[in-house]
Amino acid sequence: MTQNPFMFFTNFLIILCTLSVALLFKRRNFFFVLISVIWIGLGIANWVVLSIRITPLNGPDFAILKSAITMIFMYFSLFQIVLILLAFLAAFFAIGMAWKKLPKRQVALAQHSLVFTLILSTLIVANSFAVNSESYNESFSNLIEAYDDYGFAYCFSASLIDRGIKEPEDYNVLTIQSIKDDLDTLTALTPSLRPNIIMVQLECFFDVHQVIDWSFSENPIPNFTQLKANFPHGYLTVPTVGAGTANTEFEILTGMNLAYFGAGEYPYKTILKTHTTESLPYNLEPYGYYSHVIHNNTSTFYDRHLIYGNLGFDSFNGIEYMHDITYTPVGWARDAVLTKEIFKALKATPDRDFVFTISVQAHGKYLDISTDDPTFITLDGLEDDSLQIPYTYYLHQLYETDAFIGDLIAALSDFEEPTIAVFYGDHLPSIPFADAELKHGNRFQTEYVIWSNYGLQGDNQDLDAYQLSAQVLSYAGINNGYLTKLHQNYAHQWDYQERLVALQYDMLYGNYYLYGGEPGYAPKSLTLGILPITIDTIVLEPTGMTVKGTQFTTFSSIRINNRPVDTVFVDANTLWTELPDLEVGDTVHVAQITLTKDVLSQTKDYVIEAIDPDLLFNNQ
């Protein structure tokens, strides 16, 4: 930021402008204190965020705050959480005392309004000089560099108001029609095999041999290494580092370049909550594919349970619908559970399937104390010995995720249907690598590999995340979708990015010229869980009530008259609760709930028609 004095001055003016708002109130001393506390709090919050991930605090982070709170015990000790709560209480107490003690003053409204207007006008002029300087880059796709170059106050403020895709200068019906005509001339491909397509997004997964100074007692990722030696692979440039899984996921599924969206924006939390768009599931649907999502983490994170229907998925199987889950010492679900869930999806339908799988095991935080987990892989090359334990812990999680890859490949090798499986890392872990510490020189690059059980051949290529799905479809003999055709045929043309942003804008924010003025896709009715959860019978006993059915999990909750009761999970077919106070006409159902008690889905209601401990209530 010091290399751009106008930007430094702009940051100063942003803070000064917010403080000058206090001049317009009688309690201006109080508002000076309040606004100062907010800025200081944001600075401290940014420091805390940077201590657990690489990406700075930005406006869209507040949109995922509810989900983030569920992870607080994974990143902070109880003592640290108490300190944070005490700091909040102290801040609120100070604000309360300021309100009570600081005097009111007469407002010279004309003079103070003039001062505020002058500061605001100066800010607008300074910002204009700053953004027109040679060192300014309008794209905030690299938030880390943007915050370093342009300052916290400027970038954070921009992230609060910067949303969506700016309308391209040449956006009109003729431009879109010209692009459409070019893409429509391409011959539609007819796949001969129609293979199942499995895409596995691996949390914080990358080839650690890329770290220049690191060496290991043994290879932490032997299966991924073997796949790269025998199948098409390459570097994958992703839109984030250290966090932001959903944004890599967005680029993969839609083929859209996130760089054209707002600073730090999560499209899952903005436009996709109300709009559909071209995506892998929609592009595969005409070929008879049924599309599933599998994720061994909470279903409500990033509002996935709300937006997957707008991406064309048919079912979503979050952790609340899984059995036999084991957890890491930090508390993330281990990835070994995913193989069974993937095959559950493959066998749930008679036709071909697209299974998009999101792993979570290697997610930070990486423990800095020894655990009972074996740490048989040793790491050499660290200058700071205090990092040995957390980085070795990360390597062990990486090793177990790689073992999941090996297990899945072994199972798919014997599967009777032709299948493509794609593995890629969503982003590098929250380890502060510099580009110079990596052999490939880019901390925004992971790797991908494309495997098949029928001898797929192809060239190694480096790709952007938004190009990967089109590449996979080309291996499957499919070119459906305008973005798919663009990536497959125009990636090396001079106007590739201009065409891409024009299509993205038209699909999400424009006039839908591409589809004759109407949205191109209708939202799907998303089913939560691959297999339905059902109640078969309810048995009243002297000591309790037993509910018999199918697909129950540890997240299943018996609810009477829509109120939850303490539920004991016995097995996948049995739930039990102490005998409740029942009356004739009461209703009973089973709901799948998240850790934050959100109800995801529920069975139909069963009506209590009589009160008799020996009575069997059968499914009518």
- Give the pLDDT band of residue 306 (cuts 50, 70, 90): very high
- Give the pLDDT band of residue 374 (cuts 50, 70, 90): low
Listing DSSP states for 338-354 in one string gives HHHHHHHHHHHSSS-EE
Condensed to tens digits (0 to 9), the pLDDT of residues 494-524 reads: 999 999 999 999 999 999 999 999 999 999 9
What pLDDT does 594 receive? 92
**Cα 282 from Cα 27, distance rounded (Å):** 56
Q: Is the pLDDT higher at 224 or at 539?
A: 224
What pLDDT does 297 receive? 95
What is Dmax (Cα atoms) for the chain?
A: 83
Q: Which of 130-139, 361-370, 611-620: highest mean pLDDT?
A: 361-370
- Give the pLDDT band of residue 619 (cuts 50, 70, 90): very low
- pTM for this one? 0.90
Domains of the chain: 5-161 (no CATH), 193-527 (3.40.720.10), 532-618 (2.60.40.10)
Condensed to tens digits (0 to 9), the pLDDT of residues 44-87 reads: 988 888 877 778 888 887 877 777 777 777 777 788 888 888 98
Q: Residue 413: which of 451, 353, 453, 454 has the closest Cα?
A: 453
- Give the pLDDT band of residue 264 (cuts 50, 70, 90): confident
Beta pairing class for 574-578 and 568-571: antiparallel
- Give the pLDDT band of residue 375 (cuts 50, 70, 90): low
What pLDDT does 616 receive? 44
**Cα 437 from Cα 520, distance rounded (Å):** 45
- 3-state SS assignment for residue 93: helix
In 188-327, the DSSP E strands lie at 196-202, 215-216, 233-237, 290-295, 315-317
Q: List % helix, strand, coil for the chain (3-state, nearest 5).
A: 45, 15, 40
